[in-house]
Amino acid sequence: MAEEPDALLRALHQAYARPLQSYVVRLTGDRAFAEDVVQEAMVRAWRHPEVLAREEGATRAWLYTVVRNLVIDDRRSARHARERTTDAAPDTPQPDATQAVLDSWLVADALEQLTPEHRAVVVGAYYGGRSVAELARDHDIPEGTVKSRMHYALRALRLALQERGVSA
């Protein structure tokens, strides 16, 4: 006896799922929503086995009424008023850059503590990608002086960062 309602429900789904889905798509324009509504209508038919025992015209009318009422209920709901669907995927998520921004501010602040000569070689080498020879030529100083300034600048920079709570 339990197989009879299951067989009737399968037959009901086979006979009405597509037409009901087309009906909901015409009402809403949303294919995914239509599938959900038809699924819910079939669940309600399963919960009300007396519907399966009705004649075909009455069962069809009941299903279309259920589907129409589900669409109306959805359109009146707060979810429908506030949510919007889209076919386009949102932008790809980007990692949080907050820490990188804070780190760059911290380094920039520490660089301000250096003498202009020391800051020039550090910025030229690390941010400008300049070689020792290029820095020496740009600043009209010997290469050994560039290396010396770089050494003392990095040492002073490390101390300035440690004063700001950065551990090396």
Domain count, the chain: 2
- Identify the CA nearest to 24 among candidates 80, 65, 79: 65
- End residue of a domain, out of 82, 109, 130: 82
- End residue of a domain, out of 50, 82, 114: 82
Q: How many CB atoms lie within 10 A of CB 106?
A: 15
CATH code, domain carrying 114: 1.10.10.10
Contacts of 51 (CB under 8 A, 6+ apart): 45, 59, 62, 63
73 with 142, same domain: the answer is no
User: What does the alpha-carbon distance between residue 82 and residue 58 come to, in Å, rounded to a whole number?
Assistant: 36
User: What does the alpha-carbon distance between residue 123 and residue 59 come to, in Å, rounded to a whole number?
Assistant: 80
62 with 118, same domain: the answer is no
State pLDDT tens for residues 119-158. Answer: 999 999 999 999 999 999 999 999 999 999 999 999 999 9
pTM: 0.47
73 with 122, same domain: the answer is no
- Containing domain of residue 9, as a range? 3-82
